[in-house]
Chains A and B, each alone.
Chain A
């Protein structure tokens, strides 16, 4: 690992999913490794159901990411992964959920979501470094649907693009999350790492 790596991570999901909690946990993990970190988030009008975008930047000053600047794209919802593709640097890493949370227009039958095959095809046009996983199902298997985000972070840490591995995230969970939800999240982390390797 270089002394001063520069890694830009773009995270996206749906309001209420815990995107910001996951972002903060990841930023704390980076900081605990003695690396310089800045993280940004935009919520504001994002009531439940709006898009939430956030960033974790290692070794950079700016909290914001522009198009084509992200080394890594983390999508907690597949359509949001697709929407955020322009942020990814060509050939960058993607970790994404496969489980849709349809927006209202789709739930009402007025519009259609792309299929997971459409999304995989769009992603393939940008990069071949990609891992899709059913994160909510993994979260449920670990004991709480909300823990699905930690499974995705676990996979991210195991993918080999960060200057630390899943054990750094494990440590951050133990230090930062309330005791009563640690076991579930540690389990989700383990399942997320396994999902990456299967």
Chain B
């Protein structure tokens, strides 16, 4: 049976994740090309496209990084294909270079860039607000607040982008990506074949002489899009009170619930901006003139707030505009937080929040899984280098190596930085640097770091934690993998060959669960200088189970002879192990059979799984 997301029928209602709804919207618009680099909270968008791609009518790829992904989508739209490119917010930093110029060159086939922002840093290194990118690059924004809107705005955004030849930003936040709600399907379009590239250098080659008029054309396009925003059904007015509330994104949901909870609906007029940029100035101006005071409810930066302040100033309105200060400039909002801001603005007392106090409970931080090969690599590195080395970390599951007892992550900047920033530490101070990078991150932006380190003779030991998949974001394929959930990788790239090709001569490849060999390789590389690479190669156990359909035949158990020193627990912190009555114990359900603990303590033995 075909996947329901691919149905051509309309009228059905399905409960969809925001990210799945975006896929359906693209299919309804007639999407032809999709590229991405996965990253939470965006990952289920490309994962869904990928899973249904054998039956879909579009081309899909996991690109090696966001810059490449956006360039692939740029080429596709220039060839007339309706295109979508998905990434998390920080991915747009990587793609920022093509993005700025793409908005000059334009998108003849239509192009939607999905930026999944993460207020609250649920799974990210910062909270950056990518609505500012849209202002920098010159692209319209749609901001859904429900699953239905995620679907509709993906569809309408693609159509609008194609109509104006304007790359469009579909800006979501974690709550929207990961909410579920009913979505009523519209009819799907058959995309047919892309029109093909039509040569027109003055339009598509931004040498300075052509780029100058392109900038003018971009500004004209934004004027036309402003007219679209003025009449957009995504910008709505409701209520009739004296206090004006302007809200965008998921804040719209909080405002609606807060007003219902508080019964203050008749005291406010609400302007919801689902299509907030370019700002529908006439609509906003009429609104500002109709109320006595305005509260802007938007998470993170005062983007809409500042737009409205400019608009008021230009039109000599002396209206009071509240926003940041009344509401925080960091983190996520909640219904109560928004309700209290509205109450404060109206001079009403705040709602009483829960006064329940709890004792401090043990935390439950995420941890490297039982059987994670990174544990073996970190354990060996710490054994050889102890606290004498500076451990340069990177973005992936393995960043969890920061936790005690392994504590193998001392600093981190961004994807790929472990090599180049690690080189910076080594060159600046002469300190010993051990850098860690995962296989997906290595292909994302590690290759150029290695080239740089070799060229500039950095003194660095690079450890590639090759677990044969992109584990952190949900096991997406990368160029190094052998196999994926939907088939073989036709062109697996070999990391050792790649590193050798970049000029590294000292390379060792080990299985990190073989501690003897791993320790020996670390010892050997420790005594050398220049760029040295250790490849710690062993698949992620969750991936092994899911894709290779393999389970280790043995599990560990602690023999009666255990003398309660707990070195195994204290030094490995494997989640399958625990203390029981003065002795260590292994939970056979959680044990993945990696047998690392057997090499740490002689009192731990192997037995057949299930025996």
**Using a CB–CB distance below 8 Å, which chain A residues touch chain B?**
6, 14-15, 24, 27-28, 31, 36-51, 60-69, 79-80, 82-83, 85-90, 102-109, 111-114, 118, 122, 125-126
The 8 A CB mask of B343-363 against A (1 = contact, 0 = none) is 000000000111010110111
Asked whether, in the complex, the Cβ of A38 is within 8 Å of the Cβ of B146, the reply is yes
Closest to A46 in B: B366
CB-defined contacts of A109 to chain B, threshold 8 Å: 566, 569, 579
In the complex, whether B127 has a CB less than 8 A from a CB of chain A is no
10 residue pairs bridging A and B, Cβ less than 8 Å apart: A37-B15, A38-B180, A45-B123, A50-B364, A60-B257, A61-B253, A62-B257, A69-B336, A118-B359, A122-B358
Residue pair A64, B335 in contact (C-beta under 8 Å)? yes
Q: Smallest CB–CB gap between A123 and chain B, Å?
A: 10
Q: Is the CB of A83 within 8 A of B356?
A: no
Instruction: Decide if B358 touches A40 in the complex (CB within 8 Å).
Output: no
Assess the B41–A44 pair: CB atoms within 8 A: yes
Query: Would A79 and B182 count as touching, CB distance under 8 A?
Result: no
Q: Which residues of B contact A27 (CB under 8 A)?
A: 15, 180
- The answer to whether B335 touches A50, judged by C-beta atoms less than 8 angstroms apart, is no
Contact: A45 with B366, CB < 8 Å? yes
Comparing B171-179, B458-466, B491-499, the segment that makes contact with chain A is B171-179
Contact B367 A68 (CB under 8 A): no
Minimum CB–CB distance from A2 to chain B (whole Å) comes to 14
Q: How far is the CB of A141 from chain B (nearest CB, A)?
A: 17
* B15 cross-chain contacts in A, Cβ below 8 A: 24, 27-28, 31, 37, 39
List residues of chain B with CB under 8 Å of any chain A CB: 13, 15, 40-41, 122-123, 145-147, 174-176, 178-182, 250, 252-254, 256-257, 260, 332, 334-337, 352-354, 356, 358-359, 361-370, 397, 400, 542, 566, 569-570, 573, 575, 577-579
Which residues does chain A contribute within 8 Å of B569, judged by CB atoms? 107-109
Docked Cα-Cα span, A61 to B181, in Å, equals 10
A68 shortest CB reach to chain B, Å: 4
Within 8 Å by CB of B336, from A61, A67, A125, lies: A67
What's the Cα separation between A152 and B516 when bound, in Å? 47
Q: Which residues of chain B have C-beta atoms less than 8 A from A61's C-beta?
A: 145-146, 252-254, 256-257
CB-based nearest B residue for A112: B362
Asked if B178 and A107 make an inter-chain contact with CB atoms under 8 angstroms apart, the answer reads no
Q: Are A85 and B336 in contact (CB under 8 A)?
A: no
B356, A86: Cβ atoms closer than 8 Å = yes
Cβ 8 A contact of A47, one of B253, B359, B362, B400? B400
CB pair B178 A42 closer than 8 Å: yes
With a CB–CB cut-off of 8 A, which chain A residues contact B354? 67-68, 86-90
Q: Do A40 and B41 touch (CB < 8 A)?
A: no
With A42-B174, A47-B366 already in contact, the answer to whether A125 and B253 are too (CB < 8 A) is no
Given the known inter-chain contacts A24-B15, A31-B182, A48-B369, please indicate yes or no for A62 contacting B254, CB distance below 8 A.
Answer: yes
**Residues in B neighbouring A125, C-beta threshold 8 A:** 356
Cα A6 to Cα B260 in complex, Å, equals 10
CB neighbours (8 Å) of A86 from chain B are: 354, 356, 358
Residues of B within 8 A of A39 (CB): 15, 179-181
Which residues of chain A are near B40, meaning CB under 8 Å? Answer: 43-45
Extra 14 A-B pairs, beta carbons < 8 Å, given A38-B180, A47-B397, A62-B256: A15-B366, A37-B15, A38-B146, A42-B174, A43-B40, A47-B366, A50-B366, A62-B257, A64-B254, A85-B358, A105-B363, A108-B570, A113-B361, A114-B361
Closest to B43 in A: A44
Contact of A40 with B335 at beta-carbon distance under 8 Å, contacts A31-B15, A50-B366 already known? no
Docked CA distance A106–B147 (Å) = 39
Interface pair A44/B358, CB less than 8 Å apart: no
Q: Give the nearest-CB partner of B176 in chain A.
A: A63
Nearest B residue to A70 via CB reads: B354
User: In angstroms, how far is the closest chain B Cβ from the Cβ of A69?
Assistant: 6
Q: A49 contacts which chain B residues (CB < 8 A)?
A: 364, 366-367, 369, 575
Tell me which of B174, B180, B181, B352 has the highest count of chain A C-beta atoms within 10 A of its own C-beta: B180
Residues of A within 8 A of B369 (CB): 47-49
Within 8 Å CB of A112, what residues of B? 362
A118 to B260, CA, bound (A): 37
Interface centre among B145, B179, B368 (most CB of A within 10 A): B179
* Residue in chain A with minimal CB distance to B145: A61
Decide if A82 touches B123 in the complex (CB within 8 Å): no
B174 CB contacts on chain A under 8 angstroms: 42, 44
Inside 8 A of B365's CB, which chain A residues have their CB?
Answer: 50, 103-104
Across chains A and B, which 7 residue pairs bring their CB atoms closest together, nearest first?
A44-B123, A66-B334, A68-B354, A107-B578, A63-B179, A50-B366, A39-B180
CB–CB A66/B364 < 8 A: no
Complex Cα gap A166–B354 (Å)? 31
CB-CB under 8 A from B577, the residues of chain A are: 107-108
Which residues of chain B are within 8 angstroms of A104 by Cβ–Cβ distance?
364-365, 367, 573, 575
